[in-house]
Amino acid sequence: MTAVNRLRPRRSCLAVPGSNPRFLEKAQGLPADQVFLDLEDACAPLAKEGARHHIVDALNNGDWTGKTRVVRVNDWTTHWTYRDVITVVEGAGPNLDCIMLPKVQDAQQVVALDLLLTQIEKTMGFEVGKIGIEAQIENAKGLVNIDDIAGASPRLETLIFGPADFMASINMKTLVVGQQPPGYGADAYHYILMRILMAARTHDLQAIDGPFLQIRDVDAYREVAGRAAALGFDGKWVLHPGQVDAANEVFSPSQDDYDHAELILDAYDWCTSEAGGRKGSAMLGDEMIDEASRKMALVIAGKGRAAGMERTSKFEAPEA
């Protein structure tokens, strides 16, 4: 199986209805890290077959430069899934990065998609294993089985929280997707988000927060996105162009944090070198840094580099 870099930038994951050619064209010009062309909830049942062909055409003939290209198929409990996968992958496999599988409830559903993708790739002469899988966790059963799901396939790239269906599956008392339910004083989503995050990190996957449906309230979107970003999530869905910039900002480090992280990495490399005295720790200004500091800095620096940030400071070795 082909070795593929699964840690792509996903600060903003833009949902685009596969049945709307105008939206498919417009999405190509938006600054989202990832675009997923949707065959599931955004497509009416009678529009799904036509949407498959719209998506194949958009993937093959559109300009998706700089974007991760994903198609969300229907879940395995429907009769549409296999035809979604076959039509899209056979038609546009070389121009497709991932298949998103919604409502994943157990590991076997991921295994089934992996097997189908492998058969298509071999039949069509595509690179085996190049197309990744994104698993969407949308109900209680999926969350309970999340460790097995996260380890089900080397194709897996992300675990995604699907809040609307999840809230319905546990009978949460609210109709506002992504906002806190009334009558509960703490964060009702904290356990769910942390459970997804722990499973993702255990298997070196990315963790993505789902949509916020109040699309015109960008301040509220920032607040909800900030909660996931603070925990360590890699990105969040966007349903409207107005949310894209907010997601990119929230899930990128600040310039000061990015510069500081790069300085820590440079300083630690220097202090552990022959020229720096082969020390296990050193001072960076008033701050002591060591191996643990380096690991933390790698996370922030990695996010900044993925976001295309540039340094505004330079490390200078202290004089002897």
* Residue carrying structure tokens 């900030």: 226
Q: How far is CA 42 from the centre of its chain?
A: 19
Total of domains in the chain: 2
Query: What is the rounded distance in angstroms from the CA atom of residue 61 to the CA atom of residue 229?
Result: 34
Q: Tell me the binding residues for Mg(2+).
A: 138, 165
Q: Which domain holds residue 177?
A: 12-251
138 and 29, same domain (yes or no): yes
Residue 30 lies in a domain: yes
DSSP string, 251-273: TS--HHHHHHHHHHHHHHHHHTS
247 and 302, same domain (yes or no): no
Residue 6 lies in a domain: no
Q: Identify the pLDDT of residue 270.
A: 84
126 and 185, same domain (yes or no): yes
Cβ-count burial of 246 within 10 angstroms (0-12 exposed, 13-18 middle, 19+ buried)? buried
**Per-residue pLDDT tens digits for 286-312:** 888 888 888 888 888 888 887 788 899
Q: Identify the pLDDT of residue 3.
A: 46
Are the CB atoms for 110 and 134 separated by under 8 Å?
Answer: no
Sign for the pseudo-dihedral over CA of 91, 238, 13, 79: negative
Query: What is the rounded distance in angstroms from the CA atom of residue 319 to the CA atom of residue 317?
Result: 6
pTM of the predicted model, to two decimals? 0.89
pLDDT band at 5 (very low <50, low <70, confident <90, very high): low
Q: Tell me the binding residues for substrate.
A: 72, 138
199 and 241, same domain (yes or no): yes
> 251-279 burial, b for 16+ CB within 10 Å, e for fewer?
bbbeeebbbbbbbbbbbbebbbeeeeeee
SS3 percent helix, strand, coil of the chain, rounded to 5, is 45, 15, 40
**Per-residue pLDDT tens digits for 155-190:** 999 999 998 889 888 888 776 676 777 888 888 899
Residue 132 lies in a domain: yes
- The tokens describing 314, both together, are 């330079």
* Rounded (5°) CA angle 83-68-157: 75
Q: Identify the pLDDT of residue 275.
A: 82
Are the CB atoms for 16 and 23 separated by under 8 Å?
Answer: yes
103 and 48, same domain (yes or no): yes
Q: Tell me the binding residues.
A: 72, 138, 165
